[in-house]
Amino acid sequence: SLQIALDKPVHAVSQTLYGLMTEEINFSYDGGLYAELVRNRTFQDHGFGGVAHWNIEHYGSSRASMEIDQAEGPSAALSHSLALTITQADPANRAGVRNEGYWGMALRPNTTYKGSLYAKADSTFAGSLNLALINDNTGKAAASTDTSALTREWKRYEFTLKTGDLETSSENHLLLTAGHNGRIWLDLISLMPPTFNNRENGNRSDLMEKMAAMHPTFLRLPGGNYLEGDQIDERFDWKNTIGPLVDRPTHRSPWNYQSSDGMGLLEFLEWTEDLKIETVLAVYAGYSLKGDHIQAGPALVPYVQDALDEIEFAIGDTSTQWGALRAKLGHPMPFHVNYVEIGNEDQFDHSDSYEGRYAQFYKAIKTKYPQLQLIATTPLKRMRPDVVDDHYYRRADEFFDDVKHYDQTDRNGPKIFVGEWATREGSPTTNMGAALGDAAWMTGMERNSDLIVMASYAPLFVNVNPGGMQWESDLIGYDALKSYGSPSYYAQCMFGEYLGNEVPTSSITGEGKLFFYSVTRDSRTGKIYLKMVNASSVPQVLDINFSGMNKVMPVAMLISLSGKTNAETNSISAPTQIVPVKTSTRIEGPNFSHTIPPYSVQVLELEAH
């Protein structure tokens, strides 16, 4: 039986408990959240770019060949381009290149796609380029337009492609052709569909909506391993990710593909603004994944300065150097940052340099920004950080066995940020068994939400196409057209939505070994959120007893996420097999019995005064 004393709150619930963590992994940004349709738009060859995802297309007698020209580009940052040589062409026999997109390009009816590209031509080429969106199956153009005549200098060309009545599909590509002989150079070929909040260079709406439904309160950015890079010069070097796209050199991500950096620091911050959440800003701290590090001391000073500049870019007012640049880039208002994380998973730095590096960053950041809470990525021996980031990637059984992990943790130590955690069962996205492991773990985090200030599941996203996944078991899957949430995603939505602001006293006896619960209350509304997780194959009958109130209102809401087995799951073709079901239910007084079905996560929302 479960006893809940509403007049005896044990502690407050952190109002930033649930948030988001993402990075460029599993085509989370390029080929995911970032709405860009063109894949490998800049041809910067760092082992992944080159001419990949582009193919020659020619008609009739025309011929064309392509190569990367490493000596020609529209900017210092984009110093390579695609050189296209066209022969035997005329307006009736065109030739050019096609881009396949990120496993296709999603096209919707009566929709305007905004494009741009950089191009120049040699003296033999006289004419324009045609841009068309072509259906892969029919070969028919869904939309088509021409640029003005190319010149011998690099120039940016803007265009729009508007579809008419068509069937929504992702089996489309972008085709660029010319009806003239000669050599042309192309770069930064971009095509954007409508985006969330109509942001230029913005995000896919379906994925933004899915994140919003989780009721997050923060976004930890920009990673993860992505922050560190495999090598120091492959870190998230934020200064290379701001300003016009043509000035962003792109970089190799540790997840083995080139990052377009179309989603740079400002776009990340705008994403938090669009979701109305705060930023947990992770700054590069002088250690990269393959083991290179910079010792604390003078060599680290430029990296500390980069972090100070980055914070100023995010929160400095417009009288500061980096705040002024942010304003110039279109965002005068500072963003909302309370936490800065120094590095990522520095326990893997076996040289033990982290203590010194953390201390150097800490001193510089606290001196300038005393209001910021600074997160260490691993416990420290010589100083007490404000917050420590703990990561857990586990099987469901391991979470079940460890739900009391933080129950006895010293409350005088640092606060805890569970910055990455997940039950890793199911692929590409997690299954019902994982949702049960996650939900059990979340009951423990809520019970300890005086200590745990924040928690974020990882990884959040996966492109489910073959080759799209570098990390199995993710929360939200998608292809070019559609997206879906895993059962774990829905468990997160339920816990995020029904949070409350205090934890009442409670105790339980006689429950099954695989039964877990958490109870929170919203002192402002009198709402009580009883979360129950039954991970066993048999129903759990629970006698519930409330005390410390006058009256329990008779109408309650039950939100239930259930599977028939642990293996049941959602997928791109069956996206809603397992989703929460809401029903209204009657409660007879402060003592009642409730049965939780097997393999279920439930939230019972009651009201008591």
The binding site for ligand AHR (CB under 6 A) comprises 23, 25, 223-225, 344-345, 420, 458-459, 471
Handedness of CA 58, 64, 69, 74 (dihedral sign): negative
| Cβ contacts of 56 within 8 Å, gap of 6 or more | 64, 65, 66, 95, 96, 97
Peptide bond into 193 cis (omega under 30): no
- Which H or E run contains 321? helix 321-328
Rounded Cα distance between 90 and 182, Å, is 11
**For residues 231-255, b (16+ Cβ closer than 10 Å) or e, as one string?**
ebebbbebebbbeebbebbbbbbbb
Nearer to ligand AHR, 275 or 289 (CB): 289
* Distance of closest approach, residue 550 Cβ to ligand AHR, in angstroms: 47
Q: Is 529 exposed, middle or buried (0-12, 13-18, 19+ CB in 10 A)?
A: buried
Output the residue with the shortest Cβ distance to ligand AHR: 224
Nearer to ligand AHR, 102 or 471 (CB): 471
* Distance of closest approach, residue 470 Cβ to ligand AHR, in angstroms: 9
Contact status, residue 342 vs residue 300, Cβ threshold 8 Å: no
* Distance of closest approach, residue 366 Cβ to ligand AHR, in angstroms: 24
* Distance of closest approach, residue 371 Cβ to ligand AHR, in angstroms: 26
Rounded Cα distance between 473 and 476, Å, is 9
Nearer to ligand AHR, 195 or 225 (CB): 225
Nearer to ligand AHR, 99 or 344 (CB): 344
Nearer to ligand AHR, 316 or 459 (CB): 459
* Distance of closest approach, residue 292 Cβ to ligand AHR, in angstroms: 17
Q: How far apart are the first and last CA of the chain?
A: 22
* Distance of closest approach, residue 67 Cβ to ligand AHR, in angstroms: 35
* Distance of closest approach, residue 437 Cβ to ligand AHR, in angstroms: 16
Contact status, residue 381 vs residue 359, Cβ threshold 8 Å: no
* Distance of closest approach, residue 21 Cβ to ligand AHR, in angstroms: 7
Nearer to ligand AHR, 185 or 226 (CB): 226
DSSP state of 32: I
Residue 422's identity, in one-letter code, is: A
* Distance of closest approach, residue 223 Cβ to ligand AHR, in angstroms: 6
Contact status, residue 491 vs residue 435, Cβ threshold 8 Å: yes
Rounded Cα distance between 413 and 156, Å, is 56
Handedness of CA 244, 246, 249, 251 (dihedral sign): positive
* Distance of closest approach, residue 254 Cβ to ligand AHR, in angstroms: 8
- Closest by CA to 533, choosing from 487, 592, 595, 602, is 602
| Cβ contacts of 299 within 8 Å, gap of 6 or more | none
Nearer to ligand AHR, 277 or 458 (CB): 458
Nearer to ligand AHR, 189 or 458 (CB): 458
Structure tokens at 76: 């210092």
Pairing label, strands 63-69, 337-342: unpaired
* Distance of closest approach, residue 459 Cβ to ligand AHR, in angstroms: 5
| Cβ contacts of 370 within 8 Å, gap of 6 or more | none
* Distance of closest approach, residue 496 Cβ to ligand AHR, in angstroms: 19
* Distance of closest approach, residue 420 Cβ to ligand AHR, in angstroms: 5
Q: Is 426 exposed, middle or buried (0-12, 13-18, 19+ CB in 10 A)?
A: buried
Nearer to ligand AHR, 230 or 310 (CB): 230
Helix (H), strand (E), coil (C) string for 140-169: CEEEEEECCCCCCCCEEEEEEEECCCCCCE
Nearer to ligand AHR, 288 or 534 (CB): 288
- Name 144's bridge partners: 132
* Distance of closest approach, residue 460 Cβ to ligand AHR, in angstroms: 9
Nearer to ligand AHR, 265 or 325 (CB): 265
Cα separations in angstroms, 497 against 192, 214, 419, 482, 605: 32, 7, 19, 24, 11
Q: Is 183 exposed, middle or buried (0-12, 13-18, 19+ CB in 10 A)?
A: middle
Contact status, residue 147 vs residue 127, Cβ threshold 8 Å: no
Nearer to ligand AHR, 25 or 35 (CB): 25
Nearer to ligand AHR, 224 or 334 (CB): 224
Contact status, residue 552 vs residue 590, Cβ threshold 8 Å: yes
Nearer to ligand AHR, 341 or 605 (CB): 341
* Distance of closest approach, residue 395 Cβ to ligand AHR, in angstroms: 16
Q: What is the dihedral of CA 523, 530, 489, 193, to 10 degrees?
A: -40
Nearer to ligand AHR, 471 or 546 (CB): 471
